[in-house]
Amino acid sequence: MANREYNVLFLCTGNSARSIMAECAIGRWGKGKFKGFSAGSHPKGAVHPMTLELLQKLNFDVSGLRSKSWDEFSRPDSPPLDFVFTVCDRAAAEQCPVWPGQPMTAHWGAPDPVAFVGTEEQTRRFFYRVYSELDNRIKIFTSLRIDALDHLALERRIREIGKIKPPEDSG
C-alpha cells in the first residue's frame, strides 16, 4: 500500500455510539493518514445523546455526525475502503455485520454502551470506558507503518489490535 490517506469504515449494529466514537478517534489520531467513516447494519437513525455529550467533552466537532446504514458505503460513488473494522461485541451475542469486498477486515469488539444499565453517572463512565478502549486500539493502529508491512503481517497486526483489552477498573 502506497503512502497515502487510507479510508477506514467502523461498523456496528446501531451506529449510534461505538462506531461513531471510533470514526472521531481515527480522525484525531490519523493526522491525514486515515479518513474515518462509520455505519450500522441496523442504524438507529440518531447518534445517542450520551455519545454526543462525551465526544463534545473530548473536544470533538460533532456537528456532522449522523447514524447511517452501511448501504451508503456499497454504492458505486462511495469512497473505496481500505479497512473495515466491526466494533460490535460478540460476547453480548450481537449480530455483527459482515463487509463484502476487498478491504482488509478485523473484528475490534467492544461492549455496547447503549445497552448498559446503571445510574446516569455509571453510564457516563461506561461510555468513556468503551471510548477509551477504541481510542487505544486506534492509536496503535494509526502508529503502524502500513507501507512497511506485507499484506499478511498487516492483517495479523490489525486482528491482534482487536484483542487488546483495557486494564480492569480499580474503582
* Residues carrying an active site annotation: 12, 88, 96
> In whole angstroms, what is the distance from residue 142 CA to residue 33 CA?
8
* 85 contacts: CB under 8 Å, gap ≥ 6: 8, 9, 10, 11, 22, 105, 106, 107, 108, 158, 162
How many Å apart are CA 38 and CA 24, to the nearest integer? 9
Cα–Cα distance, 153 to 70 (Å, whole number): 27
C-alpha cell at 88: 460490535
